């Protein structure tokens, strides 16, 4: 839409985890060094955590693209599964035929595959993204898979990538043995104010911009303020700002444009902290619920949050009706953003309702 107007070869602020656009901040450099060391030394479990949108998946994709050794890599990112389903997914990701096999047979088949790879001097690495959603039973299954060894060597190395909730889950008493297997761990935070400026300039350059000053200093400061340095939010704000700037025929994005974008998002509740105390996963079995110190919601707080989200969904519906009457290009983008938000809120309220069902009123 705006690429030609701003002299870009492609959209530089796409939210997809493209390793070509990975900006190596100090935090990302540190995390990558830990991962590189763990792979070179064939360490056991590796844990990478970070805030939502901090660039964990992009970093992993970059790591995969840089691995030079003879390595077979499995990548799992669907983690709302039972232990048996997880083992099946691992086997299928390594292209093993396991249809009709029970869990024990699948594990045996996987063991044979790992021994074959070991004899061929090929490493096997399993990367589990969105690992915060794994149930304790599935994590225990992961630990058992790590017991598949040959002589004094690990047959499979595991890298778990997840949101901060993963750190809290690992504090459970029944996961002590799992935690003892973790040899390398690191955490990604948001970018600093200086890094946000460098990040924006870097992505513009990779996107083909002849000039990296499409955003002036005031715009960058505003983006940092409202993004808290989280790359995904920076991308959303910058992309929307370029759409607004294109619609208004602006060659330079200033503070006022960014504030207009922010205002639209605030009207929709996107910058309201609705994640306080959020439980982003619903476990299939009540016995697998986190400890009380993690699941701290009481019933009255749950009811309040449900009403709050319901009101916001109603507000989104009304605003969508108003926005759909407009035909300008930038409004089309805003409509899509509101639809995505509405879907997210509806999923969140369903999650809360499911938790309520597992915790009936006394």
The rounded distance, in Å, linking the Cα atoms of 242 and 118 is: 51
The rounded distance, in Å, linking the Cα atoms of 29 and 59 is: 9
Contacts of 300 (CB under 8 A, 6+ apart): none
Within-domain flag for 5: no
The rounded distance, in Å, linking the Cα atoms of 192 and 27 is: 10
From the list 88, 194, 173, the residue with the least C-alpha distance to 138 is 88
Do 180 and 209 fall into the same domain? no
Do 173 and 219 fall into the same domain? no
Do 206 and 220 fall into the same domain? yes
Overall number of domains in the chain = 2
Instruction: Among 141, 169, 188, identify where a domain stops.
Output: 188
Find where tokens 């970059």 sit: 62
Instruction: Among 188, 214, 236, identify where a domain stops.
Output: 188
From the list 361, 337, 341, the residue with the least C-alpha distance to 349 is 341
Do 161 and 82 fall into the same domain? yes
Within-domain flag for 20: no
What pLDDT is stored for residue 287 in this prediction? Answer: 41
What pLDDT is stored for residue 28 in this prediction? Answer: 92
Backbone phi, then psi, for 142, in 5-degree steps?
Answer: -60, -45
CA angle 210, 213, 216 (to 5 degrees): 160
Helices (H) and strands (E) in the chain, counts: 13, 7
Evaluated on CA atoms 139, 141, 143, 146, the torsion sign reads negative
Backbone phi, then psi, for 3, in 5-degree steps?
Answer: -60, -50
Within-domain flag for 13: no
Asked if 195 and 201 count as a contact pair (C-beta separation under 8 A), the reply is no
Q: In what order do the strands lie in the sheet with 45-50?
A: 71-76, 123-128, 157-162, 45-50, 182-188
What pLDDT is stored for residue 291 in this prediction? Answer: 46
The rounded distance, in Å, linking the Cα atoms of 31 and 148 is: 27
Within-domain flag for 18: no
Backbone phi, then psi, for 344, in 5-degree steps?
Answer: -65, -45
Do 167 and 198 fall into the same domain? no
Contacts of 338 (CB under 8 A, 6+ apart): 268, 316, 319, 320, 323
pTM: 0.69
Cβ-in-10-Å burial (0-12, 13-18, 19+) of 124 comes to buried
From the list 136, 110, 126, the residue with the least C-alpha distance to 60 is 126
- Which residues form the domain of 69? 26-188
Within-domain flag for 9: no
Within-domain flag for 19: no
What pLDDT is stored for residue 362 in this prediction? Answer: 47
Q: Show the tokens assigned to 231.
A: 């790359």
What pLDDT is stored for residue 19 in this prediction? Answer: 86
From the list 252, 260, 249, the residue with the least C-alpha distance to 223 is 260
CA atoms within 13 A on the CB side of 46: 26
CATH of the domain at 169: 3.40.50.300
Do 213 and 308 fall into the same domain? yes
Strands 153-154 and 149-150 come out as: antiparallel
Within-domain flag for 12: no
Q: Show the tokens assigned to 327.
A: 């035909």
Give the N- to C-terminal CA distance of the chain in Å, as an integer.
Answer: 56
What pLDDT is stored for residue 181 in this prediction? Answer: 86
Contacts of 90 (CB under 8 A, 6+ apart): 74, 76, 110, 126, 145
Do 111 and 234 fall into the same domain? no
What pLDDT is stored for residue 183 in this prediction? Answer: 87
The rounded distance, in Å, linking the Cα atoms of 242 and 2 is: 7
Do 160 and 201 fall into the same domain? no
Instruction: Among 168, 188, 208, identify where a domain stops.
Output: 188
Do 280 and 344 fall into the same domain? yes
Q: Show the tokens assigned to 318.
A: 């009304």
Own/partner pairs, 30-34, CB within 8 angstroms, 24+ separation: 30/186, 31/59, 31/186, 31/187, 31/188, 32/59, 32/62, 32/63, 34/184, 34/185, 34/186
Do 155 and 264 fall into the same domain? no
319 SS3 class: helix
Do 174 and 245 fall into the same domain? no
What pLDDT is stored for residue 64 in this prediction? Answer: 85
Do 201 and 348 fall into the same domain? yes
pLDDT in tens, the chain (362 residues): 799 999 999 999 998 888 889 999 999 999 999 888 888 887 778 999 998 889 998 888 888 888 766 888 999 988 989 999 999 999 999 999 999 999 999 999 999 999 999 999 888 999 999 999 999 999 999 988 888 765 667 788 899 999 999 988 888 888 998 898 888 888 998 999 999 999 999 999 999 998 878 999 999 999 999 999 999 999 999 999 999 999 999 999 999 999 999 988 777 666 544 333 343 333 333 344 444 444 443 444 455 455 455 545 555 555 555 555 545 555 666 666 667 676 766 766 776 676 666 665 54
């Amino acid at each position: 839409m705006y690429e030609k107007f701003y002299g870009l070869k492609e959209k530089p602020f796409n939210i997809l985890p493209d390793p070509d656009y990975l900006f190596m901040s100090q935090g990302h450099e540190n995390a990558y060094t830990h991962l590189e060391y763990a792979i070179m030394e064939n360490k056991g479990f590796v844990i990478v955590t970070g805030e939502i949108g901090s660039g964990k998946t992009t970093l992993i994709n970059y790591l995969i693209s840089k691995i030079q050794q003879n390595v077979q890599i499995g990548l799992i990112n669907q983690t709302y599964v039972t232990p048996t389903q997880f083992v099946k997914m691992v086997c299928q990701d390594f292209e093993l035929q396991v249809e009709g096999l029970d869990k024990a047979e699948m594990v045996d088949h996987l063991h044979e595959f790992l021994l074959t790879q070991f004899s061929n001097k090929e490493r096997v690495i399993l990367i589990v993204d969105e690992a915060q959603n794994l149930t304790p039973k599935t994590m225990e299954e992961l630990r058992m898979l790590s017991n598949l060894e040959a002589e004094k060597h690990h047959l499979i190395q595991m890298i778990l990538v997840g949101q901060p909730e993963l750190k809290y889950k690992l504090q459970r008493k029944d996961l002590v043995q799992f935690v003892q297997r973790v040899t390398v761990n690191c955490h990604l935070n948001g970018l600093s104010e200086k890094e946000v400026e460098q990040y924006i300039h870097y992505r513009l350059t990779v996107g083909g911009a002849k000039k990296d000053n499409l955003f002036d200093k005031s715009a960058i400061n505003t983006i940092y303020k409202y993004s808290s340095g989280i790359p995904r939010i920076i991308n959303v704000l910058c992309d929307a700002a370029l759409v607004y700037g294109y619609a208004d025929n602006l060659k330079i994005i200033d503070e006022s444009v960014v504030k207009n974008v922010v205002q639209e998002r605030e009207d929709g509740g996107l910058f309201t902290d609705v994640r306080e105390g959020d439980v982003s996963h619903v476990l299939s079995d009540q016995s697998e619920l986190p400890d009380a110190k993690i699941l701290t919601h009481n019933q009255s707080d749950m009811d309040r949050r449900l009403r709050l989200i319901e009101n916001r969904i109603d507000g989104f519906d009304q605003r969508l009706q108003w926005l759909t009457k407009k035909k300008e290009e930038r409004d089309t983008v805003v409509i899509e953003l509101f639809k995505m938000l509405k879907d997210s809120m509806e999923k969140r309220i369903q999650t809360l309702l499911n938790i309520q069902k597992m915790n009936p009123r006394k």
